[in-house]
Amino acid sequence: MKLIVKTAAGPSSYSSTAKPTITIGEVEKVTKAIINPSTGGYLPEVHSISGNVITYIVRYFDYNAGEDGVAIEVPNGTNLGGINFTVMAVGI
**Which residues share a beta bridge with 91?**
2, 30
State pLDDT tens for residues 53-66. Answer: 999 999 998 776 56
Q: 6, 24 in Cβ contact below 8 A?
A: yes
State pLDDT tens for residues 72-91. Answer: 899 999 999 999 999 999 99
Range in 8-22, 38-52, 67-81 with the lowest mean pLDDT: 67-81
d(CA 17, CA 2): 31
The pTM of the whole model exceeds 0.85: yes
Q: 40, 52 in Cβ contact below 8 A?
A: no
Structure confidence at residue 67 (pLDDT)? 63
